[in-house]
């Protein structure tokens, strides 16, 4: 009998290690997730659905969806453009551009929110000018979108840059010699090669856009039913001791996370099969 075992640890050690790993996963990942659902349903389905049907909750969901619906496509566009520029061309300032793409990851979300207040708030650099034309950015939808877009900017580009770097420009060059123009090369050669990475990047970008708390919290102003996104709404409810309602809304965010994970593993499963063929 030939076993393909790599380790020679005794059975007891293996059981111990697996139990320890399982314990950590349960304690830090599963337990909190379960807690969210248990707390949300503690007072029954009635209260659960009541919390979700609440006008402020609906408005928070709507605002969250709106902010994501604007910032995710925007960042997809910018991310693809940035990754394309950085990987297919060599130019002055390329390294700087790559660092700048990472900036939102490096900055604390609170700071990311504060800079917009400093720029567009009533006391900010452009505050007076904006007031003159009656434009509202801070404590309004535009501010929330800008803050969300800023924080989620790197996701798509970060996902694509290593992928496109590893693929090189050979296929694009081949397409050039075959007479294809830039637009055709992009849609018929580049996009098919990056589509799974792109989808994955969009997914992560979306998850973060809907879940973002820090930066949005600074620019939102917490106006109930107006500028509260879903995460902010959860916090407000929690601070008002409406635990069941807070957790009921939190289940939506937890579900978002689960769906994201599900699609992510589906993508990995699928592309894994494709990769095996190579």
Partner 1 sequence: MSISIHSIHKTFGTYKALEDISLEVPNGSLTALLGPSGSGKTTLLRIVAGLESADPGPGRILFHGENVVDIPAGKRQVGFVFQHYALFRHMTVADNISFGLTVLPRNQRPSRNEINDRVAELISLVKLDGLHQRRPHELSGGQRQRVALARALAIRPKVLLLDEPFGALDAQVRKDLRRWLRLFHDEIGLTTLFVTHDQEEALELADQVVVMRNARIEQVGPPQKIYDHPRTPFVYEFLGNVNKLVTPDGVTRYVRPHEIEVKFAAELDLQTDRLAEVQHLFSAGPVASLSVRADDGQFIEVEISRKQLEEMALSVGDKVALGLPATS
- For binding to partner 1 (CB under 8 A), which residues are involved? 170-171, 173-181, 184, 188-189, 192-193, 277-278
Instruction: Quickly list H helices, the chain.
Output: 11-25, 31-40, 44-53, 55-88, 94-106, 109-120, 127-132, 141-152, 154-167, 170-177, 182-185, 191-211, 214-220, 230-239, 243-276
Q: Are 260 and 268 in contact (CB under 8 A)?
A: no
User: C-beta of 162: minimal distance to partner 1 in Å?
Assistant: 17
Residue 168, CA distances (Å) to 55, 80, 84 in order = 51, 15, 11
173 vs 240, beta carbon nearer partner 1: 173
Indicate the burial class of 129 (C-beta count within 10 angstroms; 0-12, 13-18, 19 or more).
exposed
Give the number of other CB atoms < 10 A from CB of residue 150.
Answer: 22
147 vs 160, beta carbon nearer partner 1: 160
User: C-beta of 178: minimal distance to partner 1 in Å?
Assistant: 4
Q: Are 259 and 207 in contact (CB under 8 A)?
A: no
User: C-beta of 112: minimal distance to partner 1 in Å?
Assistant: 37
User: C-beta of 198: minimal distance to partner 1 in Å?
Assistant: 13
User: C-beta of 187: minimal distance to partner 1 in Å?
Assistant: 11
66 vs 171, beta carbon nearer partner 1: 171
User: C-beta of 75: minimal distance to partner 1 in Å?
Assistant: 25
167 vs 260, beta carbon nearer partner 1: 167
62 vs 94, beta carbon nearer partner 1: 94
Rounded Cα–Cα distance for residues 41 and 254 (Å): 14
180 vs 254, beta carbon nearer partner 1: 180
């Amino acid at each position: 009998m030939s076993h393909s075992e790599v380790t020679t640890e005794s059975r007891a050690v293996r059981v111990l290690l697996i139990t320890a790993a399982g314990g950590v996963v349960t304690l830090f990942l599963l337990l909190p997730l379960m807690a969210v659902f248990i707390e949300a349903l503690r007072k029954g389905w009635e209260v659960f659905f009541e919390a979700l049907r609440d006008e402020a909750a609906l408005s928070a969901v709507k605002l969250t969806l709106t902010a994501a619906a604007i910032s995710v496509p925007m960042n997809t566009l910018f991310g693809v453009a940035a990754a394309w520029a950085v990987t297919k061309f060599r130019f002055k300032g390329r390294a700087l551009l790559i660092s700048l793409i990472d900036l939102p990851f490096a900055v604390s979300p609170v700071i990311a929110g504060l800079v917009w207040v400093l720029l567009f708030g009533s006391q900010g650099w452009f505050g007076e000018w904006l007031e003159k034309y009656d434009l509202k950015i801070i404590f309004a939808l535009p501010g929330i979108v800008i803050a969300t877009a800023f924080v989620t900017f790197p996701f798509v580009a970060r996902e694509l840059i290593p992928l496109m770097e590893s693929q090189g420009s050979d296929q694009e060059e081949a397409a050039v010699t075959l007479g294809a123009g830039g637009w055709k090369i992009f849609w018929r050669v580049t996009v098919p090669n990056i589509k799974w990475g792109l989808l994955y990047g969009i997914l992560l970008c979306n998850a973060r856009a809907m879940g973002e708390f820090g930066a949005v919290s600074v620019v939102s102003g917490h106006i109930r039913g107006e500028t509260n996104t879903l995460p902010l709404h959860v916090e407000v409810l929690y601070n008002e001791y409406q635990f069941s309602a807070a957790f009921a809304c939190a289940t939506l965010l937890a579900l978002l996370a689960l769906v994201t994970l599900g699609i992510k593993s589906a993508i990995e499963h699928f592309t894994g099969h494709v990769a095996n063929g190579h």
